Amino acid sequence: MDWVVSNNKYLVGKISILDFTNDGVGLKRKNGCIRNMEIYLDTANMEEIREIVSWGVITGLTTNQKIFLKEKGTDFKKRVFEILNLVDGPVSIELTKTKLSNDELLNEAREYSSWHERNVVIKIPMFHDGRGLELVNKLCKENISTNATCLISTNQVILAALSGATYVSIFFNRVKDSGGDPITVIKESRMLIDEGNLKTKIIVGSLRRPSDVIEALTSGAHIVTVPYSIMVKLPWHWKTEETIKEFDQAWLEYTKS
Ligand code: E4P
């Protein structure tokens, strides 16, 4: 396998750097296909969403049941509507009662999907018995966007992509917790998705430190979904802080002269 490195980006697959141009938005293949890079926010907290949306960098949002637990006491449907009003992009909502039959889960998915004309994405866990794949495939045939979630291995990613998942969510630090290497899983997944000409986009979540964000993106993630606690650390660097102070001091001295 040839890994091509450019500007600290690892581009997976048997490609040459000459096949790409950088248009300032994303890496653009000379045949016109744009390799997007996006950041989503991983939260359901309105204050956090409002603050980060104002930065103009996020293009979508992801949630799950644990994220909603932090918002205990709020009305689920009302909160999802508030989020959909604020975030102009795909918003992933996870199926909540996974013990239900697939027919019941399909109805739950259809209900959430009806809450917005295009931006609701249904998060479906990778059940061990293939039930999640069946759901992804059925929803794909109904043109409902899906996000196959809780993925730890490349096998799971590829099955979800082939079944028609719009997005696949690789859980970076949970891969590590399981003894695996998330970078390998992301690189293998991206290479197979590209070589298979699949439209599925890789979202990498479960990010616990700022360096995880860059490791995920440079390994081939199309999208990273970042919790607020990590997002607010991204603009910070101690040397930048030091430099700003130095310039402020210089301006003070200049204006006193
Ligand atoms: C991503 O879609 C998930 O919501 C999230 O990133 C999971 O992260 P965790 O491992 O912190 O629960």
Share of the chain above pLDDT 90, in %: 85
* pLDDT interval class at 247 (50, 70, 90): very high
Instruction: Over range 132-160, report the average pLDDT.
Output: 98
Q: Compute the distance from residue 34 Cα to the ligand 1 centre, in Å.
A: 27
The count of residues in the chain is 257
Catalytic residues: 123
pTM confidence score: 0.86
Q: Compute the distance from residue 220 Cα to the ligand 1 centre, in Å.
A: 18
Q: Is the model's pLDDT at 92 over the cut of 80?
A: yes
Mean pLDDT of the chain: 90
DSSP β-ladder status, 20-22 and 27-29: antiparallel
* pLDDT interval class at 31 (50, 70, 90): very low
Report the DSSP beta bridge partners of residue 60.
40
Compute, in degrees rounded to 10, the torsion defined by CA atoms 126, 128, 131, 134: 60
Question: To which CATH superfamily is domain 37-256 assigned?
Answer: Aldolase class I (3.20.20.70)
DSSP β-ladder status, 38-42 and 34-35: unpaired
pLDDT, one tens digit per residue, over 33-83 is 444 799 999 999 999 999 999 999 999 999 999 999 999 999 999 999 999
Mutate-to-test residue for ligand 1 from 43, 48, 64, highest number of ligand atoms within 8 A of CB? 64
Report the DSSP beta bridge partners of residue 125.
149
Q: Is the model's pLDDT at 122 over the cut of 50?
A: yes
Q: What's the confidence (pLDDT) of residue 36?
A: 74
> Domain extents for the chain?
1-28, 37-256
Q: Is the model's pLDDT at 132 over the cut of 80?
A: yes
Closest CA to 152 of 94, 220, 205, 214: 205
Q: How far apart are CA 227 and CA 90, in angstroms?
A: 16
